Amino acid sequence: MTQRLRPYQVEIARAVLESILQGKGLTISVEIARQGGKNELSAQLEVLLLTLFLARGGNIIKCSPTFKPQTINSMLRLKERLDDAGLAGHWQPELGYMVRLGQARAIFFSADESSNVVGATAHILLEADEAQDIASDKFDKDFRPMGSTTNCTTIFYGTAWDDSTLLERVKQTNLELERKDGLRRHFEYDWQIIARYTPRYALYVESERQRLGEEHPLFKTQYCLQTITGNVGFLNATQRAQMRGDHPRGLGARGWGLENGKTAAVSETAAVSWGTRSAPTYVAGIDLAGEDEEAQDHALRSLKPRKDSTVVTVGALEFPDPLTKEPLIRIVEHYWWTGTRHQALYQRLLDLLKNVWHVRKVAVDATGVGAAVASFLSTALGSTVEKVVFTQQSKSSLGFDMLAAVNGGRLKMYRWDGSPEAQEFWFEAEKAQTLVRPNRTLDFYVKPTVGHDDFLISAALLVRAAGLYRPKVARGTSRRSP
C-alpha cells in the first residue's frame, strides 16, 4: 500500500508537477531533515510521472553520489512503489540501471567522480539525490547538459553541509531569484516541521540531540539544516567548560603507576568515591609519535616548536544504566613521552595497560611509525587493542565521536592540577581547529605553527575505545517456589 505523503511533501510535489506540465523548466532545491521523507517523495513522484508519460514517452534521469548503495536503493524503492500502485507486471527493468513503464523510463546513474556516464536526455525530470555530496564540476559536466535541450525541470534533494556544496550553490541562486520574481524555488523543512506530523520522529530526533548535542556538525546540518563554515574552532568555550571534571587525577588506579619516570601512588577507593559498588572499568587511547635517539622528554619539549609526543590517555567508564550504550568517560591519567625510542616504550606501555590499569579496551594510532608499536600491543593484548589507521574518513569519525561525547557531557577531564600534562591538554583543546570538507568529513588539528595535538588525538582515541567497550550484563535465573 502506497504511503500517504505529508503536507510538506505534497507542497514540493505540486511545485514540481506544475513546472513540468506547464513547461516552466524550473530548477528546484529541496532540503528536508534526515529521515524526513525525501526518498519517499522522490519515488512517488517518479511513479506518477512514469504513469503520466507512459504513452508519450520520455526519460526521468536521477543521479546519486554513489551507485552502491544509493543508486541501487533508489531503483528498489521505485520498483516497490510501482508494485504498491498496482503496476506489478506492467513495468520492466532494463540493462540493470533503468525501469520502463510503457514508453517512459527512469534512468539511474552514479555521480561518483570516477564514474563514466553515458550520454542520455532528460525529457521529464532531472533529479540529483543527496546533492550536497555531488561534486559541482561533475554535475555541471555530465548531468546538467542532459536537460538543456528539453528545458527539463531539475530538482536537487539533500541536507545542509558547508557553503561550497552543489546544493548550497543552487539554494542561494534560487533564493536570489525568489527575491526578484516571487516564484518559490527553494523548499526547506527542518526536523521541527516534520515532527508536527510524526510524533515518533520528534522522539527520535530528541534522542539524537541528547546523544550528539545541538552544536554537533551532524545535528546542525542534517536535522536543523544549518550550513556550517569551512574553518572554525574544534571546541568552543562552552564545550571546553563541559569537559572540566571535578574528580582528582589518578583516582581509581589499582596499584602503583609510573608517570613519566616518577612513581605515583593512586587510590583504590574510586568505586566508593564515585558511588559505585565495583571498581571502575578502564580504557585508553594512545597517540604515537616518532622517536629521537639523541634526546628525550624535557630537552625535546623545550624546543620551539617541540617534537611530537607519544601520549597515553587513560579513562574510567561509568554506565548509569547497565544497558546504556554511551558511558561517562572520566580522564584519570596522562602519560607523556617525547623522543623516546619505540623499543623502549613497548614494555612500559604493556605494563601500564595490562598490570597497572587493567584496561578493557585501548585504541592505538597505527598510522605510519605507529604501526609497529600497535602490532606489538595487539599481539600481547589480543582483542583488547583496536588499531586505528588514520584516513580522511577514520579521523573524521574520531572527531564526530569526540564532539558527541563532549556535547553530551560524557567526557570529563580530571580537576586542574597545574601539571604540564593538564596545561598541554587544555592548550590543545583551546587552539584546535576544524576543517570542514565538501565530502561531509572534517579534520581537527592544531596548526603546526601554534603547537601540537598529541593530547587531543589521544583523547579522541580514548573516546573510540570507550565506544567499543560493551559491559557485560548479568543474567540470572529465578527459582520457582516449591
- Residue-level pLDDT at 420: 95
Q: Are 257 and 266 in contact (CB under 8 A)?
A: yes
- Residue-level pLDDT at 292: 52
Q: Please tell me which of 116-120, 233-237, 249-253, 472-476 the model is most confident about, judged by mean pLDDT.
A: 233-237
Kindly tell me if the per-residue pLDDT of 307 is higher than 70.
no
Mean pLDDT score, 400-426:
95
Beta bridge partners of 28: 155
Domain ranges, ordered by start, for the chain: 7-212, 229-468
Beta bridge partners of 155: 28, 127
Q: Are 193 and 8 in contact (CB under 8 A)?
A: yes
Burial of 202 per CB tally in 10 Å (0-12, 13-18, 19+):
middle
Kindly tell me if the per-residue pLDDT of 474 is higher than 60.
no
Kindly tell me if the per-residue pLDDT of 250 is higher than 50.
yes
- Residue-level pLDDT at 264: 38
Reported as a single tens digit per residue, the pLDDT across 68-114 is 999 999 999 999 999 999 999 999 999 999 999 999 999 999 999 88
Helix (H, G, I), strand (E, B) or coil at 153: strand
Reported as a single tens digit per residue, the pLDDT across 39-64 is 999 999 999 999 999 999 999 999 99
Lookup: cell for 210: 541528547
Q: In which band, very low, low, confident or very high, does the pLDDT at 269 lie, cut at 50, 70 and 90? A: very low
Q: What are phi and psi of 355, to 5 degrees?
A: -100, -30
Helix (H, G, I), strand (E, B) or coil at 254: coil
How far is Cα of residue 461 from the mean position of the Cα atoms in its chain? 15
- Residue-level pLDDT at 297: 47
CATH of domain 7-212: 3.40.50.300
Reported as a single tens digit per residue, the pLDDT across 123-134 is 999 999 999 999
Kindly tell me if the per-residue pLDDT of 220 is higher than 90.
yes
* Of 111-120, 346-355, 411-420, the least confident: 111-120
Please state, for a pLDDT cut of 70, what percent of the chain lies above it.
87
Ramachandran bin of 189, using left for φ above 0, alpha for ψ from -120 to 50, beta for the remaining angles: beta
Beta bridge partners of 318: 328
Mean pLDDT score, 7-27:
97
Lookup: cell for 143: 548531468
Average pLDDT, the chain: 88
Smallest CA-to-CA distance from 251 within 274, 272, 267, 271 is with 267
Reported as a single tens digit per residue, the pLDDT across 366-404 is 998 889 999 999 999 999 999 999 999 999 999 999 999
Q: Does domain 229-468 have CATH number 3.30.420.240?
A: yes
Reported as a single tens digit per residue, the pLDDT across 146-169 is 999 999 999 999 999 988 899 999
Q: In which band, very low, low, confident or very high, does the pLDDT at 294 lie, cut at 50, 70 and 90? A: very low
| Cα first-last separation, the chain | 53
- Residue-level pLDDT at 188: 98
| Virtual torsion, Cα 233, 235, 241, 245, nearest 10 deg | -150
Q: In which band, very low, low, confident or very high, does the pLDDT at 321 lie, cut at 50, 70 and 90? A: low
Q: In which band, very low, low, confident or very high, does the pLDDT at 306 lie, cut at 50, 70 and 90? A: low
Smallest CA-to-CA distance from 259 within 195, 352, 191 is with 352
Kindly tell me if the per-residue pLDDT of 241 is higher than 90.
yes
